[in-house]
Amino acid sequence: MHDLESLIYISRPAIRPHSIELLDIADACLRNNPLHDLTGFLYFDRSFFVQVLEGESARIETLCATLLDDPRHYGMHVLRRAPILRRRFACWDMALCDGTSPYPLFGFKPSRKLLEAAKQGDASALLSAIDSMSVPVRAAPIVAAPSSSEPHLSS
Ligand SMILES: Cc1cc2nc3c(=O)[nH]c(=O)nc-3n(C[C@H](O)[C@H](O)[C@H](O)COP(=O)(O)O)c2cc1C
């Protein structure tokens, strides 16, 4: 794909972690991102969202304009935007990481101090925590080919 890039931002949620509003966001991610060939990672807790978006530059641009207007969060601050050769979240339309869980996705559990520092403009520690996350490649589903010896069911 041409012009592949990754954008990471931090913002403040205006909604609670386990709310209908959050499910609506997850729903939009899973509905829209495959259509726009966007992949990524969305961390949420009571005080922060951190999202990694991967895809074609223009698609990211369009989504960012929408995100800026979304009242379910505020104070959106881009931490890094850079060209990438390949996606880290290639198999994830949007990997949702619940920061309130003791076992968050990919073990990503940044401290509040780290998140506050990123929001204040020092994002180096948060970015290296994101970069060192170990993201498993999701296996493709196994689809069994029908065997020719299988009996045919007639209706
Ligand atoms: C923190 C946050 C992350 C979001 N991430 C995405 C996303 O990755 N993809 C997406 O389509 N919408 C995302 N949204 C929702 C969009 O702002 C917007 O509501 C949605 O794209 C509208 O989709 P619709 O026109 O299909 O209803 C996010 C919203 C928030 C608050």
CA gap 89, 44 in Å, rounded: 17
Q: In this predicted structure, what is the pLDDT of residue 71?
A: 98
Instruction: Indicate whether 145 pLDDT > 70.
Output: no
Q: In this predicted structure, what is the pLDDT of residue 7?
A: 98
The rounded Å distance from CA 25 to ligand 1 centre is 6
- pTM, whole model, 2 decimals? 0.90
Q: Is residue 155 part of a domain?
A: no
What's 87's domain CATH number? Answer: 3.30.70.100
Q: Is residue 83 part of a domain?
A: yes
Query: Does the C-beta of 97 come closer than 6 Å to ligand 1?
Result: no
Q: Is residue 88 part of a domain?
A: yes
Q: In this predicted structure, what is the pLDDT of residue 134?
A: 86
pLDDT single digits (tens) 15-28? 999 999 999 999 99
Q: Is residue 27 part of a domain?
A: yes
Higher pLDDT, 35 or 141: 35
Confidence label for 142 from pLDDT (cuts 50, 70 and 90): low
Which residue range forms the structural domain that includes residue 72?
4-131
Q: How many domains does the chain have?
A: 1
Residue of the nearest CA to atom 25 in ligand 1?
28
Q: Where are the beta strands (DSSP E) in 3-148?
A: 4-13, 39-44, 49-56, 73-83, 95-98
Could you identify the atom of ligand 1 that is nearest to the CA of residue 44?
A: 1
